[in-house]
Structure formats: C-alpha cells, structure tokens
Amino acid sequence: MKRHDLKILLVSPLPPPAGGIASWTQQYLDWSQKNNLNVEIVNTAVIGKRAEKINQKTKIIDEIKRTKDIIKDLKTKINKFKPQIIHLNTPCGKLGIIKDFLCAKIAKKNGVKLIVHYRCNIKDQVDRSVVARFCLRRLSNLADLNLVLNSSSNKYLMKETQNSSILIANFINEDFLLDEHKKIRSDIKIISFVGHVQRTKGILEIIDVAKQLPEITFKVAGPVSGNINNIDKPNNLIFLGPLSKQEVKKLLLESDVFLFPSYTEGFANALLEAMAMGLPIITTPVGANVDMIESMGGLIVEVGNSNSIMDAINNIRSSIDRSRMSVWNLNKVMNEYTIEKVMDKLIFIYLDIISK
C-alpha cells in the first residue's frame, strides 16, 4: 500500500480553545491536505465554559453531552469514511480517558486498526486515580500500537500495562525555524517564558528570580491565571499576555535565554519553539524536557526551586556556552522535530500496522 491510499480517521481536538493538542491537530490536518494524505477528523474539543477559559472545572453534564456527540460522530465517520486506521489522541484526563476508552472499543468493534497517542506525561495524569489507571490498562490493550511523547511515559506505560510503546515527538513547521545562527549577546539582557502563566508552570519561581536579578528583563507571554495577577511582581518582569505566532517568534528572537520551570509536561511546544529559535534553555526534568535538550541544549533545574534557577542563570552567563547550546538546539530541531520528519515516521507506522 502507498501513502496516498491511506485513509486515516483522526480523533483529536481542534481549536478553540487553542492548546498544545489542538494546535498539533490543526498542523497535522494542514500538512495532510498539502501532501494528499486522506484524513478525516472527529473533533473532541471541550465544550461549555472550558472552551472559553483555561482551567475551568469540568461539568459532568457538559462531559456527558460531549462524549455522546463524539461517539455519534465517530460511528458515522467509520461507516461513511471506512478508515483503515484510527489515530486517537488522549490527554488522559480523569473523565476524558473514559470517553477515549469507549471510542477505542468502537474502533475495535468495527475492525479498524487503532493507534492510541498519549498526549501527556501519563503518570502525572492517571497515577492518583484507580479508575483512570483501569481505563489506561484497557485502552492500551485495545490499541494495535501505543505512542507516547516522552521516555518517562514509555516506562510508566510498560510498568502499569506491560504494553510497549513508541516515542513520537511533537513537530514544528519549518517556517518557524531560525534560518541562520542566532546572534549571541555577551551579557544576558532578556529571559523569556511562553505558556499559561500559572503556578504549575513555575511562574512563582520566575517572579522570585526576577526580584533577585533587576539587571535582567523577564518577559512572560501567555494567558495569565487570575490569582497570579494579584501577586506583587518586580518592575523588570513584564506580562505580555497572549501573543500571535509571529509575536512569539519576535520575542524569542530578542531573548537570550528561555526559562521554562514547569511542574509537569508531555512534550512542550513552547520549549520546542524556543529551541527552533536557537535559544539556550533552562528547564525542569519533567515530561520530554530532558529528552529534548539532553545534556547539550541547556541546563536542568529542580522543580519549584528558585535557588536552582538562580544557579543555572549564573552558570549560563558565558556567551561561548550559550552559543554552543544555541547551535545544538537548532540542529536537534532540524534533525528530529520538523513536521516533515515526524509525519514521515507516522506514515511509516500507519503503513506498517496495516500490513500486519
């Protein structure tokens, strides 16, 4: 079978709201259209107030309606489109994983090959819930193949389910890549962060560090959680609010270091974009962060530890070291994380599964 003969049903959220998985889905569909890959979509985006504002609590009635609509659409698409493969993206949320398990059962009942793609750090999402772990085991057993975003999820899935998985990274469009070597200043003038501005992204540590380094400007981009707005912050820390892709690119271009002290991640698109712009990285050892920068693209700090971040900034002040990290990160993205390379891997996986 050739790639143009493939018929893929993608079960995944589209914007709104904008987010990591939704952005990935839109890029996947755009690439597929340009490259004649035959894909249909079952949109699993959240509804109600969760679609309007981040971190809203899940309403059971909204989740039930959403699940019924998704299952109805899935059955319709299977009957009309007749896919050879269903690619199911799951963030492993407490209620969402039940929905994903039901979708997987429908796929297998209809004899369709099933790929389950865990779009999270699995342990962080399911480890505290008996129900979620039960659904994880059943879901992974139904899958013809399990895909994960990072090595820690790979290990956790094997431990909990005895099922192996393949690591498939997120991707980035090549037009976001810096097309030349980044200009490295002799001193660190600007440290940036991009993401949801909330406690679990390490924003309290960023505020604390900014207070201790008044000579450096800290620029923080992304929607700001309500309780963060009320925290006293120093004048050298600027909340920029949500930015467009081009505005993010401009911010990263003018920055000297990207600081990303998140408490939990799957595979951080913000970190990937910073690497694609040749920024040295300071981040925590969660999700795919270590897989991404390894020991060459930046420094790893302890979760929730301002002193560890301070030490890292002091250890990254050398322009020679930052230049080396910058070049390494650019090469890593070009060699492993462009949409062309990742989609080629996925298509190889699709064809391999169908042939079995």
What pLDDT, on the 0 to 100 scale, is given for residue 50?
A: 52
- As a three-state string, the secondary structure of 87-129 is EEEECCCCCHHHHHHHHHHHHHHCCCEEEEEECCCHHHHHCCC
What pLDDT, on the 0 to 100 scale, is given for residue 62?
A: 84
For residues 135 and 67, is the Cβ–Cβ distance under 8 A?
A: no
What pLDDT, on the 0 to 100 scale, is given for residue 54?
A: 53
What pLDDT, on the 0 to 100 scale, is given for residue 4?
A: 82
- Whole-angstrom distance, CA of residue 104 vs CA of residue 209: 45
Domain 174-336 is classified in which CATH homologous superfamily?
Answer: Glycogen Phosphorylase B; (3.40.50.2000)
Q: For the structural domain made of 3-171+338-355, what CATH number should be given? A: 3.40.50.2000
The answer to whether the 3-171+338-355 and 174-336 domains have the same CATH topology is: yes
- Whole-angstrom distance, CA of residue 325 vs CA of residue 299: 10
Q: Establish how many alpha carbons lie within 13 A of residue 35's alpha carbon, considering only the half-sphere containing its beta carbon.
A: 16
Q: Which residues of the chain have pLDDT under 50?
A: none
What pLDDT, on the 0 to 100 scale, is given for residue 36?
A: 94
CA-based nearest residue to 109, from 68, 147, 142: 142
Dump pLDDT digits (tens) for 13-35: 999 877 789 999 999 999 999 99
- Residues in a beta bridge with 237: 218
For 7, counting Cβ atoms within 10 Å of its Cβ (0-12 exposed, 13-18 middle, 19+ buried), the class is middle
What pLDDT, on the 0 to 100 scale, is given for residue 44?
A: 96
What pLDDT, on the 0 to 100 scale, is given for residue 238?
A: 97
For residues 288 and 150, is the Cβ–Cβ distance under 8 A?
A: yes
- Whole-angstrom distance, CA of residue 254 vs CA of residue 182: 10
What pLDDT, on the 0 to 100 scale, is given for residue 230?
A: 86
Q: Where exactly are the structural domains of the chain?
A: 3-171+338-355, 174-336
Identity of the amino acid at 318 = S
